Structure 1
Amino acid sequence: MGVTPDQRTRRRVLRAVGATAAIGGLGVGSSAAQNGQDGQSGQGDDGVDSPYTATYRDTIGSVVLVTVSGPRGGGGLGSGFVIDEQHVVTNNHVVQSATEGGVELQFSNEEWRTASIVATDPYSDLAVLRVEELPDGASGLSIVDREPAIGQEVLVLGNPLGLDASISQGIVSGVDRVLPSPVGFSIPAAIQTDASVNPGNSGGPLVSLEGEVLGVVFAGADQTIGFAISSRLANRVIPALIEDGTYEHPFLGVGVQPVVPDIAEAVGLESATGVLVTEVVPNAPADGVLQPAVPTRPGSGDVIVAIDGEEVQNQSQLLSYLALETSPGDTVELTVVRDGEQESVEVTLETRPESQLPQTPIPGTPGERPPTEP
């Protein structure tokens, strides 16, 4: 039996996946949409009584395959979703290698559109694309401004392994996760799910059964661990990218580590809670206000136990508060334990300086992250 071009494409994609780290974006050798064209044919019988089927029908028309043409014939593919009459959201790492005019979108009805990049934010790994005219059936999905409940059922929509208009189901396994970004700063407040996430899912929506976007799919670590950028962070970043072309992240300028029992005993804490300041960036807002630990002096260094009256038990809580509740120019009150005594200090946040690190591929395992610098 002969092999069609489409069959050859599927085999190439599946062979390539075997050597690809399990991050959401999938690198390929050309900008063509080399995927199985089975989005509409797999939508099922209208008589099927399933909440997953209903959500799929209501949302899949707004989910796109993002294909990218890069320099020297390189490129990649990922996913994205429509948020209004002109704009599509995806990951920065999906489109960062695109040349001018090198982003094409395919909708689930097989229609294609050329997209332009409005703006990108490598720190949150988000990007906004513009499309001049959406096809029929592609309407904006709603990005909610709340944290999902652990155990809540969720769906991942997108193009895993380049197979378009796919759906996987799971639950929210955790919230307030800290993920690596390719530019050295961590991405806070992320969502963990056991819904299947594979190369090609990057930039697609993580949705509730009501079809609301809870997060933007970011990466997968293995068969039962996937991650999405929080809708709460996306709702801060995306409007700014559309209106201003950039988003200014708040910057405190410290390195921290969790307080373990040995540290708690050394600094005079009754329980192991808070974060120990291990580094203060020169000329940063915290410079001269917070005191870092000195390795040769056990018990030295400030332990941050609260910010603006909100308890800080770990670095995830500190990062999430800074990312979701503050902006450059805000003055925050930090409650610290210093030399065994609790006191309050004030720090005025600044705009995060441009990273001096090159944009590197996102590690396949989100546990491989650089030191935190809120």
Structure 2
Amino acid sequence: MHDFRPDRRSFLAAASAGLASVAGCVEPRAESSIEGDSSHDIDRENLAEGSAFTDLYDAIIESVTQIRVFGIEDPNTGAEGRGQGSGFLYDDRHIVTNDHVIATGQAADVRYINGDWTSATLVGRDYHSDLAVLEVDHVPKGVTPLSLSERRPVVGQQVAAVGNPLGYEGSMSAGIVSGVDRTLDFPDRAFSFPNVIQTDAAVNPGNSGGPLVDLDGNIVGVINSGGGDNIGFAISAALAGRVVPSLVDDGSYEHSYMGIGLRSVDRLVAEANDLPEATGVLVTDVFDGSAADGVLKPASRTVPRRGESIPVGGDVVLAMDGEPIPDRHALSTHLALETSPGDALAIRLRRDGETITRELTLGARPSVSW
């Protein structure tokens, strides 16, 4: 157990200085909320001693919110419903949550743990990172923003998920970082989320948009999926740190885009393509008019290997700007965190048995919305 037991006042001061399936749910629409200061207080008398997690909870819970979104259309019936999720105070007037929490909703209410309600306006959203920013009309006095961690998480690091699972507001679950640099696929999205954090902290519908924090109260990731199966995921603080400021300022964010289909080089791919090592990323497709069109060579055919169709004949990406690219996770993370549209990349690749370098100027990923 981490022995960090901060003084609440100093903890909050430090935080303010630094400035399943998808885990959301839909329920019948309710009456609109009432704004303003509530007299509801948290009873802090006759409490048990608690732990480092108790102090962590006390330090951040006032900055974690419940979000209710109205006007969400049920894709099966067309009926109007209400979505529910979590969020956190990012600065003095903005709340960060998931894009899928907002979905097709037209209005949102935000509730703080002290009972205050406020209306919120959508100022920016990004489908490709599942992040959205709301501007709120009211922030309770003394509530301070949470800070995104500036350090990359490591496997085994203790973390806590804070939010509103299944509508139970102000809940905390604890665990560790179970994996880093994950690439997360969703069946209804034709792309993958890069640089995702995996955790065994219990995450359920309603946690979406809430913070995954370290024991210093810094946000490691923005929770975006989980189903109570001892495996949950969060959009990394590193990616959120690039996307959220742009959403606040411009309402949108442009992701780097190569325009390729790809597959990590495993043993079967290496054997079928006569590669000396099982490392790198094989280019399976190049999309017309994309940045890679005319620069990279896609696979020309497939061959059967142990019951699989293995692509052969395409370029194998080995490094970008001198950074090794051992698999598709490394490629997506490098694009997401180290590049921007318009950047020129020096790509070292293997083509027809030779190692060569090609320059590719990145484009912007085509925009998609709900």
**TM-score, with normalisation over the residues of structure 1?**
0.84
CA distance 1:305–1:317, shift in 2 (3 Å): same
Specify the alignment match of 1:176 in structure 2.
181
Q: Does 1:302 align with 2:304?
A: no
Q: Distance in 1 between matches of 2:247 and 2:84?
A: 22
CA distance 1:42–1:336, shift in 2 (3 Å): farther
The CA deviation string for residues 207-238 of structure 1, in whole angstroms up to 9 with x for no partner, is 00110001000001542000000000000000
Q: Distance in 2 between matches of 1:113 and 1:342?
A: 59
Specify the alignment match of 1:153 in structure 2.
158
Q: Secondary structure at the match of 1:304?
A: strand
CA distance 1:313–1:350, shift in 2 (3 Å): same
Q: Does 1:251 align with 2:264?
A: no
* Kept after mapping to 1: 8 A contact 2:205/2:227: no
Q: Distance in 1 between matches of 2:62 and 2:120?
A: 17
Specify the alignment match of 2:330 in structure 1.
317
Q: Secondary structure at the match of 2:245?
A: helix
Specify the alignment match of 2:27 in structure 1.
28
CA distance 1:278–1:66, shift in 2 (3 Å): same
Specify the alignment match of 1:91 in structure 2.
98
CA distance 1:296–1:127, shift in 2 (3 Å): closer
Matched positions, count: 331
**Which segments of structure 1 move beyond 3 Å, counting only runs of 4 or more?**
31-34, 39-47, 296-299
Give 2:90's aligned amino acid.
I
Bigger Cα displacement from structure 2, 307-316 vs 137-146: 137-146
Q: Distance in 1 between matches of 2:354 and 2:273?
A: 9
Give 2:97's aligned amino acid.
T
Q: Distance in 2 between matches of 1:121 and 1:133?
A: 24
Q: Secondary structure at the match of 1:154?
A: strand
- Supply the RMSD in Å over aligned alpha carbons: 2.1
Q: How far apart are 1:299 and its partner, in Å?
A: 4.3
CA distance 1:287–1:45, shift in 2 (3 Å): farther
* Kept after mapping to 2: 8 A contact 1:150/1:173: yes
Specify the alignment match of 2:217 in structure 1.
211
Identity of aligned residues (%): 46
Could you list the runs of 5+ residues in structure 2 that have no partner in the other structure?
Answer: 1-19, 34-39, 73-78, 304-310
Bigger Cα displacement from structure 2, 149-158 vs 295-304: 295-304
Bigger Cα displacement from structure 2, 62-71 vs 83-92: 62-71
More strand by share: 2
Q: Secondary structure at the match of 1:290?
A: coil
CA distance 1:153–1:32, shift in 2 (3 Å): farther
Q: How does 1:212-361 map to 2 (within 5 A)?
A: 212-295=218-301, 299-355=312-368, 359=370
* Kept after mapping to 2: 8 A contact 1:33/1:67: no
Q: Distance in 2 between matches of 1:231 and 1:73?
A: 33
* Kept after mapping to 1: 8 A contact 2:317/2:347: yes
CA distance 1:296–1:53, shift in 2 (3 Å): closer
Q: Distance in 2 between matches of 1:325 and 1:247?
A: 15
The CA deviation string for residues 68-120 of structure 1, in whole angstroms up to 9 with x for no partner, is 11155411100000011000000011112221xx2001100011011111111
CA distance 1:45–1:120, shift in 2 (3 Å): farther
**TM-score, with normalisation over the residues of structure 2?**
0.85
Aligned partner (choices 139, 144, 149) of residue 139 of structure 1: 144
The CA deviation string for residues 269-310 of structure 1, in whole angstroms up to 9 with x for no partner, is 222111110000001010111101111587411011111111
Q: Distance in 2 between matches of 1:113 and 1:166?
A: 20
